[in-house]
Every structure is written in C-alpha cells, then in structure tokens.
C-alpha cells in the first residue's frame, strides 16, 4: 500500500516575520514555522540551547530523597551496587553513576542482568546473590519502577533499594527507600521525557553538589559532569526519547563533549567506528555507529563489558573492548538478517499485508537479542504493529517476545488487554516486551490482533510521510543545507527535515550499496541539477524503481556528505512514487 504524503501548509507572512525578527535564513524560518516555532525568543532557545537551561537536579522528583541516602552510604563505606539495564541507555546511565560514586570514594560495583538468561529489570535471584555477596545498597538505573515484588524481596534481604527509572509504572509503586522518576505520581516536573541516562546524570549532579556542599561544584567534579553529559547524550539518542527541552541541551552539548573530551572507552569506540576524523559529531553518529555497538553487547549477553568500556581508564583495555564490541555488532547484524528473512517470509505466507491490523510472528531458533530490532524494521516496512516471539526449542520455557508499534497503537496497553494469555509483559507505548507459553501463542495472537483491529482506524492504517516543504534540487546548495543543520541535533521529536521534489529522472539504474543488498544508491536529476541519492534499508526498492522509466517524485532528507575533506550535498531517500 502506498504512503500518503502530507506536505505542510505554510504561512508566508509568518515565515517572513520570523526570518526578520530572529535573523535567520528563509529556509530555516520556513522549517521552524512548520514545526510550530514562531517566536524569536523560542528560536534562540531552540537553535542555541544553553547548559544553563538544565533544571537544578533537586527539582527532579525523588532526587532530594535519594542523593542524601547515597551520600551517607558513601560516607559509611557501605557496599553499593549499581544495577543497570542491558541497552545503551542503561549502560551509559549505570556508567555515569558508577564513575561518579568511584570519584566520591564509594565502595561500588555494577551489575547488569543477562538479557538472554535473566530478562529485563530487577529479579529476585540477582538480588539474593548480591545480598549474599554483601551488597547493602542497590541503585537501579533505567529499570525498577515496575518491580513491586522485587522491591519487597530487597527489603526482606536487608538491601536499601533506590530506584532510578523513566519507564511506565503500574497502579502500585515499589516500596523502595527512594524513587527517582521524572513523572512520579504527585509531582509536576516540567519535562518527563528524560531517559535513564538523563535521570542518572541528574542524580550524579546532585551528588556532586552534596559532596561540594554547594551548587558550585569543584573543578574535578565539573570536569566529570561535562564528560558525563557525553554519556547522557549517547543514552538519550539511543533510547529514542524526544530531543526537546532538556534532552536537546544534553545532546547538543554532549556531542561537543564526546568530540573534544571523550572518556577513554568512548574514544576507542569512535576509533573502531571510524568517527575520529569527522570535524563534528552528530546524533546520527550515535544512532548508527556508537549505540549499535553498545546495544550489540547487551543483545548478545555481554552488557557488563559495555559498562567496563565506558568506565575504564586503560587505553589498552578500552581498545580491546571496543574491537570486541565491534565484532559483536557484526554478529548481531548477521543474526538480525537471518531472523528478518524468516519473519518476513511468515508475513508473506500467513498474513494479508494490507488487511491484517497487526502481525504476531513466532519461530524457534530466533535469537532473543535481535527480535526487537527486526520487529521495528518490519513495523516500519509494513506500517503495522509487529510482535516477534522467540520460542524455546524444547518448549520447556516461555517464549520471549518483543513488539514495536505502528499506526498509533499503545503496545503497553495492548499487552495489558491480553494479560490472561501472557506470563509477563512490560515496556512503553511504542516498544514493549513479553513472555508467553508456546501453547498460548495462538490465543495471544488472536487477542492482540482483535484489540489492534478495534484500536486502529482505517485512516491510521495508511502510512503517512510528513513533508516540511517542496524544494527543487537547484535550491540544495551547500550553504542552504548547512543552514538546515543549524536545527540539529536531529532525532525523535526533532526529525531531520523531509523535503520533496517532483519530475525527477534517474540518471542511471539504482544499485546496491554496501554488503547484504540492504541499501541503494541512485543518481537523480531534476532540471539539469544532479544529486546522489541513498536509500538506507530499502534494498527491496531496487527491482521496481529500476523498472520505472518515467519521471518520479521523491521525498528526501538533505544531508552533507563528508569524504576525504570534501563536503557535498546528497539526499537520503524516504519515499518515491511515479510523478503525479
């Protein structure tokens, strides 16, 4: 089914007024107005976010309770464990607190559950093991807000539990010594979009203030916090939270920190990802180069190595870990392709791709660490909610599932509606996980698809591309695209602008780019102006696009390609269609 192109209407008078009042280029004014930014004061805050725009850490709900408890535990030399999550957000958040507490003289170590054996979040067995090893305080990072029974276990074991999280919580909150969460019930923090690493950064900042006995921290702690902003930026981009408000500040300044004063481990990771020669870093560098390497460690059960990489002071150890994580990322990519092909085959053979409201796919041998990525790729390709379930080959254990939303479906609520068929579930509206017995997969599939059918309208089933403006190829000068870059960092909540152009011709047939036949490259021309277009993850377009003889319309993101010191404009294709 073709996608619906929705081109933003423009108010020329408002665009010109903003251009004059804010002193910005016409194209940036047009793009900002299309996103609802119409006042000069808002433009300044958006284009040049200041570190001073971060709210005091004490304002974050729960920090005023948690920070003194941790500060006292450090002073008493109690044994502290940072209990992180196994994704990039959890690793960076845990690393921030681990490094902070070490700097403050704490007896502290980290623990991350094995994704493949223990699953997400706090678990009783891990808490029992930690208690037996002498842990007196456990600080969760990026998990724990829904761990009601586990909090009770911690209390029975004599562990002082401090939960720091940003995920959705249930009707009952865990009975912990402190809960740090931007959306804690009964509070009104102005921005609830912080990720786990953002929450951890705020807590670390508060601890530095306590240790300095002042809001103005010591030079050593200030240096640490500036470095920690870089880690928080990685977690923020990797967790796909909105790049607005405080997140925009963290990422804008975090990218500068990563470029100019990265931790030893991040520097090694950037070398492995071939990012060190770039004059500046972008959010896309995090999203497509750094975060996947960290996530690969977690997906393949090696998240603890990710935290070690981010906290080590040894350049040699950092290099070895960075190279190993890069190898893991290659393994992850191979596993992902295998599962993607099998899952896509199921859709083609067992589902009506246009009529069915959702896809629930299951298979034995599917690696549990990559099913979430594949679910996301399929949800984007078919514009349907997708749940992938990795079944136990012997059927002795529940299957592990991961879902990604589309069409506006709230996955967290949808799984709750199907609770009777599941062993457990949790997550966000857009991404959630579950465990289900093999014998109940068909029942869950029927219930989930029935819920999706009632919750998703016919209008929502048609994928829509939001286009900021129409722009001819001749307008895409290097200067113009550089002006567009002023709106960075791009990501969730602030996507890179999408433009469109009509009556475009293919100079040469498209060809595959890179290995695996996943990406395309095609030279395009419009009215004598030629540009290179790249379509990432759209290898399936090759046959149909190559067979299209007439002119086409294209939706694209303008970018600047830097290669061997030369900067040129190219486009990343979002969609195409025969010219209308």
Q: What is the pLDDT of residues 549-578, one digit of tens each?
A: 899 999 999 999 887 778 899 999 999 999
How far apart, in whole angstroms, are the C-alpha atoms of residue 209 and residue 202?
A: 11
Level-2 CATH architecture, domain 351-455 = Roll (3.10)
Higher pLDDT among residues 169 and 318, named by residue: 318
pLDDT in the model for residue 45: 87
pLDDT in the model for residue 472: 92
For 29, half-sphere exposure in the C-beta direction (CA atoms, 13 angstrom radius) is 18
Higher pLDDT among residues 26 and 238, named by residue: 238
pLDDT in the model for residue 341: 95
pLDDT in the model for residue 267: 97
According to CATH, the topology of domain 53-327 is inorganic pyrophosphatase (n-terminal core) (3.90.1640)
DSSP letter for each residue of 153-203: HHHHTT-EEEEE--S---SS----SEEE-TT-TT---S-----HHHHHHHH
Place 406 in a pLDDT band, splitting at 50, 70 and 90. very high
The pLDDT of 514-522, averaged and rounded, is 87
Residue 77 token pair:
């030399």
pLDDT in the model for residue 119: 78
The pLDDT of 198-220, averaged and rounded, is 96
Nearest 5°: the CA angle 461, 462, 464 is 125
Place 2 in a pLDDT band, splitting at 50, 70 and 90. confident
Residues 6 or more apart whose Cβ sits within 8 Å of residue 32 = 18, 24, 38, 43, 46, 487
How far apart, in whole angstroms, are the C-alpha atoms of residue 221 and residue 57?
A: 15
CA distances from 230 to 90, 210, 260 (A): 14, 22, 10
The pLDDT of 350-369, averaged and rounded, is 93
pLDDT in the model for residue 508: 94
The pLDDT of 397-412, averaged and rounded, is 94
Q: Which of 175, 206, 188 is nearest to 57 (CA)?
A: 206
For 434, half-sphere exposure in the C-beta direction (CA atoms, 13 angstrom radius) is 33
Q: Which of 91-95, 97-101, 457-461 has the lowest mean pLDDT?
A: 457-461
The pLDDT of 192-215, averaged and rounded, is 97
Level-2 CATH architecture, domain 4-48+464-578 = Beta Barrel (2.40)
pLDDT in tens, 426-476: 877 888 899 999 999 999 999 999 999 999 998 899 889 999 989 999 999
pLDDT in the model for residue 319: 98
The pLDDT of 45-56, averaged and rounded, is 93
Burial category of 300 from C-beta neighbours within 10 Å (exposed 0-12, middle 13-18, buried 19 and up) = buried
Handedness of CA 459, 462, 463, 468 (dihedral sign): negative
DSSP letter for each residue of 286-300: IIIIIHHHHHHHHHT
- Percent of the chain beyond pLDDT 90? 82
Secondary structure of residue 338 in the 3-state scheme: helix
Burial category of 3 from C-beta neighbours within 10 Å (exposed 0-12, middle 13-18, buried 19 and up) = middle
Q: Which of 215, 276, 229 is nearest to 99 (CA)?
A: 229
Alpha helices per DSSP H over 312-463? 315-350, 371-382, 411-417, 441-455
pLDDT in the model for residue 116: 77
Q: Which of 135-144, 186-195, 247-256, 277-286 has the lowest mean pLDDT?
A: 277-286
Q: Is the pLDDT of residue 360 over 90?
A: yes
Q: Which of 104, 130, 108 is nearest to 118 (CA)?
A: 130
Do residues 209 and 57 touch, judged by C-beta distance below 8 A?
yes
Mean pLDDT over the full length of the chain = 94
pLDDT in the model for residue 316: 97
Q: Which of 556, 559, 551, 567 is nearest to 472 (CA)?
A: 556
Domain ranges of the chain: 4-48+464-578, 53-327, 351-455
Q: Is the pLDDT of residue 131 over 90?
A: yes
DSSP letter for each residue of 390-419: EE-TTS-S-EEEEEE--TT--HHHHHHHTG
Q: Given the DSSP bridges, would you call strands 399-404 and 386-391 parallel, antiparallel or unpaired?
A: antiparallel
How far apart, in whole angstroms, are the C-alpha atoms of residue 38 and residue 468?
A: 15
Q: Is the pLDDT of residue 1 over 70?
A: no
Q: Which of 392, 404, 398, 337 is nearest to 364 (CA)?
A: 392
CA distances from 231 to 151, 245, 250, 318, 374 (A): 28, 18, 9, 15, 26
CB burial of 521-559 (b: ≥16 within 10 Å; e: otherwise) equals bbbbebeeeebebbbeebbebbeebeebeeebbbbbbbb
């Amino acid at each position: 089914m073709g996608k619906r192109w929705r081109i933003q209407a423009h108010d020329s008078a408002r665009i010109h007024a903003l251009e004059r009042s804010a002193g910005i280029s016409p194209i940036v004014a047009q793009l900002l107005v299309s996103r609802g930014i119409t006042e000069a004061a808002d433009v300044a805050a958006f284009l040049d976010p200041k570190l001073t725009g971060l709210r005091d850490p004490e304002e974050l709900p729960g920090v005023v309770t948690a920070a003194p408890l941790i500060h006292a535990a450090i002073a008493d030399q109690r044994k502290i464990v940072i209990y992180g999550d196994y994704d990039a957000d959890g690793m960076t958040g845990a690393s921030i607190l681990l490094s902070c507490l070490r700097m403050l003289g704490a007896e502290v170590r980290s623990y991350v559950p094995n994704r493949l054996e223990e699953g997400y979040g706090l678990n009783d067995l891990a808490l029992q093991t930690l208690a037996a090893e002498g842990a007196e305080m456990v600080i969760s990072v990026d998990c724990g807000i829904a761990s009601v029974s586990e909090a009770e276990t911690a209390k029975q074991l004599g562990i002082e539990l401090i939960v720091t999280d940003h995920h959705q919580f249930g009707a009952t909150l865990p009975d912990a010594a402190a809960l740090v969460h931007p959306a804690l019930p009964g509070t009104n923090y102005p921005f609830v979009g912080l990720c786990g690493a953002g929450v951890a950064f705020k807590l670390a900042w508060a601890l530095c203030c306590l240790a300095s006995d002042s809001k103005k921290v010591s030079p050593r702690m200030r240096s640490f916090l500036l470095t920690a902003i870089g880690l928080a930026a990685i977690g923020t981009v990797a967790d796909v939270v909105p790049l607005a408000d405080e997140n925009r500040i963290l990422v804008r300044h975090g990218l500068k920190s990563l470029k100019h004063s990265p931790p030893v481990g991040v520097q090694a990771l950037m070398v492995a990802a071939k990012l060190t020669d770039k004059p500046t870093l972008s959010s896309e560098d995090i999203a497509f180069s750094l975060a996947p390497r960290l996530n690969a460690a977690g997906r393949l059960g090696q998240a603890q190595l990710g935290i070690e990489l981010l906290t080590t002071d040894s350049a040699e150890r950092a290099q070895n870990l960075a190279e190993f994580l890069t190898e893991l990322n290659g393994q992850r990519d191979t596993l992902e392709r295998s599962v993607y092909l099998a899952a896509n085959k199921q859709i083609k053979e067992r589902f009506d791709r246009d009529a069915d409201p959702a896809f629930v796919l299951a298979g034995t041998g599917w690696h549990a660490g990559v099913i979430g990525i594949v679910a996301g790729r399929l949800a984007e390709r078919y514009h349907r909610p997708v749940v992938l379930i990795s079944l136990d080959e012997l059927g002795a254990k529940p299957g592990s599932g991961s879902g990604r939303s589309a069409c506006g479906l709230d996955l967290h609520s949808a799984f709750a509606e199907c609770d009777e068929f599941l062993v457990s579930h949790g997550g966000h509206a857009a991404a959630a996980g579950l465990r289900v017995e093999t014998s109940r997969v068909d029942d869950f599939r029927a219930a989930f698809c029935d819920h999706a059918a009632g919750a998703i309208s016919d209008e929502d089933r048609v994928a829509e591309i939001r286009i900021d403006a129409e722009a001819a190829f001749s307008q895409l000068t290097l200067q113009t695209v550089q002006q567009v870059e002023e709106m960075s960092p791009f990501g969730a909540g602030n996507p890179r602008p999408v433009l469109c152009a009509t009556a475009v011709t293919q100079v040469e047939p498209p060809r595959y780019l890179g290995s695996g036949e996943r990406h395309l490259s095609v030279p395009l021309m419009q009215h004598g102006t030629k540009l290179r277009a790249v379509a990432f993850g759209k290898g399936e377009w090759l046959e149909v696009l190559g067979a299209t003889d007439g002119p086409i319309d294209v939706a694209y993101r303008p970018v600047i390609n830097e290669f061997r010191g030369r900067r040129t404009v190219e486009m990343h294709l979002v969609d195409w269609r025969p010219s209308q």
